[in-house]
Each structure stands twice: as structure tokens, then as C-alpha cells.
């Protein structure tokens, strides 16, 4: 089965005067996929999302969502795409249920269907007991869950979440992400989420795209990304030594397989082409320093991100 | 027994708590859904209660001042049969009459209902959520205007009816049909006048991110026109007054020049329009020579003629409202939507 591409971006560019917020973005996302847009603040994630929804016009390039160009037919796109903005807000003086019913009414959902659907969704996001309470009494995490229910009430094909985990405690984040994953599987929904929290995204995304200063510098499953990026120095050793001085570092750097050495808080991070733990230990003991810890380090998204971010600069 | 108790309990629960209640929207059309929600918001807000109380006070105060001077007003001026209209214009000097109250209160009502129309949505983070729904963007600002105008209409109509009703009760004089229509048109002009200020406030609410800033700037414009504008006109008058005692034409020309300057202020247009409508003996708004007045039969103008006299004022007020709304519409449509910034 050839997978259907539900979001297609082709050379999408957005300029604000001199500043290029999004630069020649080409990307496609398949139906049912959970895609993470990763990048630091101001990398152009939100701008990209706004262009996807037709809320902002691209300077050049083309976007296609569910087979529709959002720049020219934003209403059709908005019927099929649910968008949860960064720091979503609700009408605080209305109850959670009423907020959902308002959205339903704006989407032309018949009022008899709407109430049933809203209650079902509130149950799914675990807000049934607070359905009739005013939103001003809700916590941040509850509002975010209500936001999720809010975008699902129009039964979208795609949901776009802008920084869905910002400002929520770790447990809340875990629950929210699990909920997103579960909902996307149940409804075969495509999810596009943006974040700068790497580990959170790592947990649920099928693929991620790394965004730095308007450019998409890498796309793919997280493992692949790491492999491609660190081809030249696939092994990383974490070493704890006392004392650390310049001579020791330069002695390690002198080894032919070592590509770089990073120093932070009594630890050395050594990137190398081969597993040379024994040699490193030898160098350290020869130098008269005390080795307390040596381990091989896996590349997490953190490193990938950091590496890319450095290169992007 | 327990079953009965339970039933009673739920029944009372329904009556006494507003839980389990949801809003149902009467219209399927998204535009009217927004309008309904906005009207609901206005009516449930404290500011609506405050404005209503203000209006109630106005009605009572102006009726009081009218009642205490009605006797002398009727005996002094026998030229007009329109006694009922005097309720709206007569004053004993201690308190301003109803029309002055409205020209004072109107801007406040307009500004109060409009100053946070758009920027409050932005600050609450609901604007971007609203814009992500499949509705044209202009529905939002149009619906907000329509909703606020509806609320204004309800307020003004209530106030007008209250005045008439209390007036009938207190004086025992029923209004003649023509008087009724004059009051009707007066209320209509008032709605348009309040609409001007409402639009101005909405424009500032689009322009400024902070509700406080938009409220202040609307109030500043209002203060400018109600206080400083006439001072500035005075300065201009003193500076440009013809040096020599000139011919009649020149004096009349100068007079109408000053009057047109004054008419830049919406409140001047409003007071000219309403005075003409509520005081049928007003025959002209500009200078009039003895020759022109000579041979004219003293008496009130018919309603049609009064309306004709203030047609340009009414058109101007409407035009100002439309222009300001047009500006805010364009600004709103072009604005970049980011959540809360």
C-alpha cells in the first residue's frame, strides 16, 4: 500500500522584510504519521504551521494539506485540520463543555450531535468531572487537554499541535503525549507537533524534522538521524577523571581515532571513530590522573540537536 | 422513600445550581453563532450592569429636571403643541436635559462595549483558536460589531421607552404620533452616534495589544472632542475674525466657516441633529437674516422637513462610522496572527 502524502510542502518560504523566517522548506508527511518539528525558539516552526493553515501567506513556494492549497482555500483546510496553538486560551467565564460546544457550532456541527460528541471527548481527555466548571478553575494541564478535545470536535484528518507540552509538569506531559499517541492511532489521524523539548518528542514521534533558523536541516526517524550525523565519529565515550588539565586533553586529542573532546564538569566527552576505551584509559593512567568512570554513550536527540544546531550556526 | 427523596434532590439541584446547563446556539450559521456568543458575553458582564445602572440614573435624573421645569417651559413657550418632547429637552438649570446626557453618555457606552473587542481575544489566546476554525476571518470583526450594535440598540431602546413610559405616567400627557416618530428618529440617531464611538473603540482594540491602551486612546479622542476641540476652534476664531466690519455676505460666510469647523466633531453633528429632531421649532442650523425670516409663519416644522434639515448630519455620522469601521476591518484582515503577541 503506497502511503498517501497528506501534507506536502514545496520550497515554502516566508520572509518578514529582511528576515527569512522559513527558507525553502520541502517536506512531506504521510497519513497516520506522528511528525515532530523540532527546533529552538524562533526557528520558524510556528510560521510554518501558520502557513499550513492558511493563516499566513507564504512569500514563495507551495503547500498542500489534504489535497488543498491553504493559501487559496483556507476554509477547506481548516475544516480538516485541527490546530492547537501555543498557549491555547479559552473563554474563562464559560464551562469547558460550553467552550467545546462553541467550537462545534462554529464548525457547523449540529447541536444535537455536538453535545454528545463533546461529552465523549471530555471523557477521553479525562475532564468529565469538570465539564461544567468554568475554565478559569482549570489547571494548565487541564486546559491543554481541553484544547485537545477542542480540536478533535470537528473530527479532523490532521491535527497540528504547537508546543503542546510547554508549561506542563512532567507527569502531565507523559499523560498528554500518551493521549496524543492513542488518539492518533484510534482515528488514524496525522499529527504534526512542534516542540523544543527533545526527549518528549522522542517518545512519540515516528519521524522528526530539525529546524534551525528557518531551514529544515534533517528529516527522518531519530535513530537514522543520529547515524547519519555521526558517521565520522560514531562512538562517544564518557570519561570521569581527576584532575583534568590541558595536557591531558591534548594527549587524548593526539590519538589518531579521536575526532573531538568536549569538557564539562569533571567529565570528558570523547568522540572517536573506533572503540578505543582501553587506549584512553592507558593515556589517562600514564598521565597520572585518576580514572573514576568510563562508559560508552548513546546518541540521544540532545546530541543530535546540539550538533545540528552548532552546524546550523 | 429514598427514591422520592433522590428525585426531589435532583429536581432541586437543577433549580438551584446552574450546573448541567449548556448553551445552545439558535443558528446553524457560524456568523450568528458568534453574534449570539458575543451578545451573551456582553449581557453577562459587569460592565453591562454598570452601563444599565448609569442609563437608569440618567433617565431618572433627566425626568426629574424635566418635570420640575415643564410647567414654566409650557407657559413660556406657547408656540409649539409638542409638550411631550419637552420631557427630553427641558431643564431647570440644575441638571442637563436628556439629550445632553445622551451626548455625554453615548461615547462612554460605545467605548465601553468596544475597547477590548479584539485585543482581549488576542490576550486570552482565543483569537488564534477562533481563526483556526473554518470561518472567514471577517466574520469575527463583523460579528463583534453587529453584536455590540445589537446591545447598544437594546440599551437605547430600553432607555427611550423608559423615558416615554415614565413621562406618560408622571405627566399624564400621551405623545402624539408625530412626537413618537420624532423620539424614534432621535433614538435612531443616538444609536448611530454611539456606533461611531463603538467603531472607534473597536479600531483601537485592533490596533493596540493592550486593552488599557485602547480604552485610554478612545477616551483621549472623546476628551479631545468634548473639551479641547472647542478651545482650539476659539483660538482659530479669534485669529481669523475679519478685521473690519464687513458686509453681510462676508459675515455669513465667516459664520458658516466656523460652524463647519465645529462640525468636525461628531458630538456637534449629534447635537445639531437631535436638537432639530426634538425641538420642532428649530428651522435652520445656520445663520439667518431678518430678510429671510420676514414673512415666515412662526410654528413648528413638520417631521419630514426636520429630517431633511439634519439629513447631512446623519449622513456624516454614518459616513464617519463606516470609514472607521473600514479602517479597522482592513487592519484586522492584514494583521499577522500569533498567539498572544
Nearest residue of B to residue A90 by CA position?
B126
Cα–Cα distance measured from residue B329 to residue A304, given in angstroms and rounded to the nearest whole number: 46
Interface of A with B in 90-109 (CB under 8 A): 90-95, 97-98, 101-103, 105-108
The C-alpha angle with vertex B327 and arms to B326 and B333, in degrees rounded to 5, equals 90
Residues of B within 8 A of A101 (CB-CB) are 22-25
* Contacts for A88 with CB less than 8 Å, ≥ 6 apart: A143, A144, A147, A150, B125, B129, B339
Distance from CA of B203 to the nearest CA of A (A): 21
A149 contacts chain B (CB < 8 A)? no
* Contacts for A248 with CB less than 8 Å, ≥ 6 apart: A241, A283, A284, A287, A289
Distance from CA of A51 to the nearest CA of B (A): 11
* Contacts for B68 with CB less than 8 Å, ≥ 6 apart: B92
Question: Looking at the domain assignment, is residue B23 inside a domain?
Answer: no
- Closest CB from B41, B129, B135 relative to A88: B129
Phi, psi of B245 (to 5 degrees): -75, 110
Q: How many residues can be counted in chain A?
A: 313
Phi, psi of A274 (to 5 degrees): -130, 170
Residues of A within 8 A of B28 (CB-CB) are 108, 110
Distance from CA of B80 to the nearest CA of A (A): 53
Do the Cβ atoms of B336 and A56 come within 8 Å? yes
Do the Cβ atoms of B23 and A86 come within 8 Å? no
Nearest to B276, CA basis, from B45, B43, B73, B82:
B82
- Closest CB from B128, B134, B136 relative to A107: B134
Distance from CA of B108 to the nearest CA of A (A): 24
Question: Looking at the domain assignment, is residue B18 inside a domain?
Answer: no
- For chain B, which residues lie within 8 Å of any Cβ of chain A, measuring from their own Cβ? 19-25, 28, 30, 33-34, 37, 41, 44, 124-126, 128-136, 336-340
- Closest CB from B23, B131, B339 relative to A87: B339
Question: Looking at the domain assignment, is residue B339 inside a domain?
Answer: no
Do the Cβ atoms of A101 and B33 come within 8 Å? no
Do the Cβ atoms of A101 and B25 come within 8 Å? yes
Do the Cβ atoms of A78 and B132 come within 8 Å? yes
| Beta-bridge partner residues of A260 | A271
pTM of this prediction? 0.82
Residues of B within 8 A of A50 (CB-CB) are 337-338
Q: Which long-range contacts (CB under 8 A, 24 or more apart) does A241-246 make?
A: A241/A266, A241/A268, A241/A284, A241/A289, A241/A290, A241/A291, A241/A292, A242/A266, A242/A289, A242/A290, A242/A292, A243/A289, A244/A268, A244/A289
Do the Cβ atoms of B22 and A97 come within 8 Å? yes
Cα–Cα distance measured from residue B261 to residue B264, given in angstroms and rounded to the nearest whole number: 6
Instruction: Please report, to the nearest 10 degrees, the dihedral formed by the alpha carbons of residues B206, B212, B218, B224 taken in order.
Output: -140
| Residue spans of chain A under pLDDT 50 | 1, 313
The C-alpha angle with vertex B197 and arms to B191 and B198, in degrees rounded to 5, equals 75
Q: How many domains is chain B built from?
A: 1
Phi, psi of B186 (to 5 degrees): -60, -45
Residue A229 near residue A312 (C-beta atoms within 8 A): no
pLDDT at B194: 95
Question: Looking at the domain assignment, is residue B241 inside a domain?
Answer: yes
CB atoms within 10 A of CB B63: 22
| Residue spans of chain B under pLDDT 70 | 1-20, 77-80, 245-246, 288-289, 293, 295, 297-298, 338-341
Residue of B133, B140, B332, B338 to mutate, testing the A interface (most A Cβ within 10 Å of its Cβ): B133
Phi, psi of A56 (to 5 degrees): -145, 140
Question: Looking at the domain assignment, is residue B21 inside a domain?
Answer: no
A206 sits in which H/E element? none
Question: Looking at the domain assignment, is residue B74 inside a domain?
Answer: yes
| Beta-bridge partner residues of A158 | A81, A190
- Closest CB from B41, B135, B337 relative to A106: B135
Question: Looking at the domain assignment, is residue B24 inside a domain?
Answer: no
DSSP letter at A130? G
User: ipTM higher than 0.90?
Assistant: no
Cα–Cα distance measured from residue A255 to residue A261, given in angstroms and rounded to the nearest whole number: 11
pLDDT at A1: 41
Nearest residue of B to residue A163 by CA position?
B339
First to last CA, chain B: 59
Nearest residue of A to residue B136 by CA position?
A75
Do the Cβ atoms of B129 and A53 come within 8 Å? no
A214 contacts chain B (CB < 8 A)? no
Do the Cβ atoms of A88 and B44 come within 8 Å? no
- Chains A and B: how many Cβ contacts under 8 Å? 97
Do the Cβ atoms of B337 and A94 come within 8 Å? no
Distance from CA of A87 to the nearest CA of B (A): 7
For residue B152, give its domain range: 30-334
Sign of the CA dihedral A62, A66, A69, A74? Answer: negative
Residues of B within 8 A of A55 (CB-CB) are 128, 131-132, 337
In three-state secondary structure terms, B214 is: helix
Residue of B13, B26, B132 to mutate, testing the A interface (most A Cβ within 10 Å of its Cβ): B132
Question: Looking at the domain assignment, is residue B22 inside a domain?
Answer: no
Amino acid at each position: 500500500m503506497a502511503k498517501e502524502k497528506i501534507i506536502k510542502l514545496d520550497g515554502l518560504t516566508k520572509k518578514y522584510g529582511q528576515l527569512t523566517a522559513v527558507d525553502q522548506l520541502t517536506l512531506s508527511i504521510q497519513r497516520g504519521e506522528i511528525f515532530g518539528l523540532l527546533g529552538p525558539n524562533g526557528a520558524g516552526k510556528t510560521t510554518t504551521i501558520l502557513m499550513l493553515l492558511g493563516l499566513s501567506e507564504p512569500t514563495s513556494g507551495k503547500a498542500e494539506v489534504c489535497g488543498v492549497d491553504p493559501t487559496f482555500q483556507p476554509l477547506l483546510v481548516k475544516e480538516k485540520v485541527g490546530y492547537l496553538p501555543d498557549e491555547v486560551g479559552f473563554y474563562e467565564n464559560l464551562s469547558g463543555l460550553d467552550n467545546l460546544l462553541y467550537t462545534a457550532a462554529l464548525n457547523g456541527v449540529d447541536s444535537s450531535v455536538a453535545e454528545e460528541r463533546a461529552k465523549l471527548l471530555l471523557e477521553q481527555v479525562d475532564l468529565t468531572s469538570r465539564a461544567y466548571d468554568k475554565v478559569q478553575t482549570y489547571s494548565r494541564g487541564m486546559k491543554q487537554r481541553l484544547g485537545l478535545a477542542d480540536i478533535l470536535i470537528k473530527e479532523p484528518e490532521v491535527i497540528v499541535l504547537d508546543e503542546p507540552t510547554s508549561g506542563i509538569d512532567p507527569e502531565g506531559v507523559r499523560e498528554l503525549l500518551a493521549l496524543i499517541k492513542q488518539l492518533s492511532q484510534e482515528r488514524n489521524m496525522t499529527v504534526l507537533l512542534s516542540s523544543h523539548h527533545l526527549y518528549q518528542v522522542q517518545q512519540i514521534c515516528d519521524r522528526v524534522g530539525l529546524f534551525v533558523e528557518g531551514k529544515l536541516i534533517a528529516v527522518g526517524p531519530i535513530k537514522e538521524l543520529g547515524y547519519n550525523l555521526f558517521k565520522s565519529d560514531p562512538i562517544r565515550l564518557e570519561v570521569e577523571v581527576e584532575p583534568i588539565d590541558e595536557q591531558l586533553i591534548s594527549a587524548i586529542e593526539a590519538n589518531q581515532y579521536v575526532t573531538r573532546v568536549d569538557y564539562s564538569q569533571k567529565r570528558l566527552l570523547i568522540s572517536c571513530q573506533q572503540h578505543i576505551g582501553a587506549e584512553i584509559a592507558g593515556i589517562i593512567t600514564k598521565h597520572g590522573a585518576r580514572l573514576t568512570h568510563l562508559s560508552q554513550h548513546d546518541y540521544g536527540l540532545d546530541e543530535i540537536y546540539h550538533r545540528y544546531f552548532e552546524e546550523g550556526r | 422513600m429514598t427514591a422520592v427523596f433522590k428525585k426531589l434532590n435532583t429536581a432541586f439541584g437543577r433549580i438551584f445550581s446552574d450546573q448541567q446547563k449548556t448553551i445552545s446556539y439558535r443558528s446553524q450559521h457560524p456568523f450568528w453563532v458568534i453574534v449570539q456568543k458575543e451578545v451573551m458575553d456582553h449581557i453577562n458582564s459587569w460592565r453591562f450592569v454598570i452601563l444599565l445602572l448609569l442609563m437608569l440614573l440618567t433617565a431618572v435624573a433627566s425626568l426629574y429636571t424635566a418635570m420640575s421645569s415643564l410647567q414654566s417651559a409650557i407657559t413660556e413657550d406657547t408656540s409649539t403643541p409638542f409638550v411631550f418632547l419637552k420631557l427630553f429637552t427641558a431643564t431647570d438649570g440644575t441638571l442637563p436635559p436628556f439629550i445632553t446626557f445622551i451626548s455625554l453618555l453615548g461615547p462612554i457606552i460605545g467605548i465601553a462595549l468596544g475597547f477590548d473587542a479584539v485585543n482581549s481575544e488576542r490576550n486570552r489566546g482565543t483569537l488564534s483558536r477562533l481563526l483556526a476554525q473554518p470561518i472567514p476571518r471577517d466574520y469575527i470583526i463583523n460579528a463583534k460589531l453587529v453584536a455590540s450594535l445589537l446591545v447598544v440598540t437594546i440599551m437605547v431602546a430600553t432607555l427611550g421607552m423608559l423615558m416615554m413610559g415614565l413621562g406618560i405616567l408622571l405627566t399624564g400627557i400621551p405623545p402624539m404620533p408625530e412626537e413618537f416618530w420624532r423620539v424614534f428618529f432621535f433614538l435612531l440617531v443616538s444609536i448611530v452616534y454611539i456606533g461611531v464611538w463603538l467603531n472607534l473603540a473597536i479600531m483601537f482594540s485592533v490596533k493596540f495589544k493592550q486593552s488599557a491602551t485602547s480604552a485610554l486612546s478612545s477616551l483621549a479622542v472623546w476628551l479631545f472632542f468634548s473639551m479641547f476641540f472647542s478651545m482650539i476652534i476659539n483660538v482659530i476664531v479669534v485669529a481669523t475674525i475679519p478685521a473690519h466690519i464687513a458686509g453681510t455676505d462676508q459675515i455669513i460666510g465667516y459664520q458658516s466657516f466656523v460652524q463647519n469647523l465645529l462640525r468636525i466633531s461628531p458630538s456637534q453633528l449629534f447635537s445639531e441633529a437631535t436638537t432639530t429632531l426634538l425641538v420642532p421649532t428649530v428651522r435652520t442650523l445656520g445663520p439667518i437674516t431678518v430678510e429671510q425670516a420676514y414673512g415666515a409663519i412662526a410654528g413648528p416644522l413638520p417631521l419630514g422637513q426636520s429630517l431633511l434639515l439634519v439629513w447631512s448630519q446623519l449622513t456624516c455620522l454614518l459616513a464617519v462610522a463606516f470609514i472607521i469601521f473600514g479602517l479597522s476591518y482592513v487592519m484586522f484582515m492584514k494583521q499577522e496572527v500569533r498567539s498572544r503577541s
